[in-house]
Amino acid sequence: MVFTTIASGYTPRCALDETDGGEVRLAKIAKLIEECDWAIHDISRVETSDGDLPRFNMPLELGLHLGAKLFGNARQRRKRALILDADKHRYDKMLSDISGQDIEAHARRVNQMIARVRNWLSDGRSDSAAPPRGAAVLQRDYARFKVEIVPMLKALQLDKLNQLTHSDYMRAVRRWLQEESEDTK
């Protein structure tokens, strides 16, 4: 999701952008929702592990976004959202109040996630803006990124890709995309 957003020319934002233990997480999320006109909410992320209770952070954040859209000022009412779930109607069992929303399913498949995010970002662009590269190209690029980033991370003495902090991951994606762009010139 982050790779596709950056590769499509947008800047993803999340509560992990800045780590400040003195800042209340919900206030930080609310501020991001207020500042951002577009939001992607993957409500499939409610799994449990070892009998624990499910995590409902994503549905809570979606609720804040929808509340801002319903009750906010004119700018807030123009907000756009991409709501993702693993299966098209799975949300009916846990969040039936959002029935009638256009939910996109990704079946927990990376290539489907890339296509859903890319297409949504493309649909929301202005008519004068160039479209982002197609889903198939982004899927290919993401597969290459996962392989080619390994030596780059090693050279920078960073952790493995799946162990990077959010900000290090975003920097790695931008750096790889920049080098990829330079290589194709």
Q: What is the pLDDT of residues 120-150, one digit of tens each?
A: 999 988 889 899 999 999 999 999 999 999 9
Mean pLDDT of 90-110: 74
- Starting at the edge strand found earlier in the chain, the sheet holding 38-42 runs 38-42, 80-85, 103-105
pLDDT at 10 over 70: yes
User: How far is 30 from 68, CA to CA, in rounded Å?
Assistant: 9
Q: Quick one: pLDDT at residue 96?
A: 65
Q: How many angstroms separate the most distant Cα atoms in the chain?
A: 52
Q: Which two tokens stand for residue 24?
A: 């209340």
Q: What is the pLDDT of residue 19?
A: 78
Domain limits, the chain: 2-130
Specify whether the CB–CB gap between 121 and 132 falls below 8 A.
yes
Mean pLDDT score of the chain: 88
Reply yes or no on whether the pLDDT at 184 is more than 80: no
3-state per-residue secondary structure call for 109-129: CHHHHHHHHHHHHHHCCCCCC
Determine contact, residues 77/69, Cβ cutoff 8 Å: yes
Task: Write out pLDDT tens, residues 76-99.
Answer: 999 999 988 888 777 666 666 666
What is the token pair recorded at 152?
Answer: 């780059």
* Token pair in block for residue 73: 């000022």
| pLDDT at position 169 over 70 | yes
Count CB atoms within 10 A of the CB of residue 130: 8
Three-state secondary-structure class, residue 147: helix
Can you give the pLDDT at residue 105? 81
pLDDT band at 180 (very low <50, low <70, confident <90, very high): confident
